[in-house]
Amino acid sequence: MFRKADLEDLDNISAIYNEIHTAEEAGETKIGWVRSIYPTRATAKASIAAGDMFVEEVGGRIVAVGRINQIQVPEYSDASWNFKALDEEVMVLHTLVVSPQMGGHGFGTSFVDFYEKYALDHGCRYLRMDTNKRNQTARKLYKKLGYTEVSIVPCKFNGIEGVQLVCLEKAID
């Protein structure tokens, strides 16, 4: 089940972020996040307050979380987008994460499917997202789901220095 996150979900979302930070620090994954910089409990709380944080829940457990809105981060202006869409035609997926304990069960794919349907329901047929160049797992998933990597933008992103931001897009009907 997909739904908007609320403050009661904050501990569970923070726990998923911490699991990923721990796996990153142990060298078990390469996402490019940095504990206490991004993402944090505060960023999750702000997203919940903004009303654009969504969770995927299975059997009462949050297995995936991400932000969906029409906010294109400033770094996107340096990308070479294939589709010259108006801002109001674009929906963006930010910070999609699947609990490391629940990886490999298709939750990332189902979350992206939800995102695409949400975009269409809100009149947006152009989809954009980003990931860190280091995050090969996400890059492979997005390619499999029909997203095109349009640019890699070197930047400081979400407070993290030296990010190679991979910008992706897709048009849907």
Assess whether pLDDT exceeds 80 at residue 26: yes
Write out pLDDT tens, residues 45-78: 999 999 999 999 999 999 999 999 999 999 999 9
Write out pLDDT tens, residues 105-147: 899 999 999 999 999 999 999 999 999 999 999 999 999 999 9
Residues sharing a CB contact under 8 Å with residue 4, sequence separation 6 or more, in sequence order: 51, 53, 54, 55
As a whole number of angstroms, the distance between CA 172 and CA 77 comes to: 21
Q: Which domain holds residue 145?
A: 2-171
Q: Once rounded to an integer, what is the mean pLDDT over residues 30-34?
A: 93
Domain count, the chain: 1
CA-wise closest residue to 33 among 45, 47, 19: 19
What's 77's domain CATH number?
Answer: 3.40.630.30
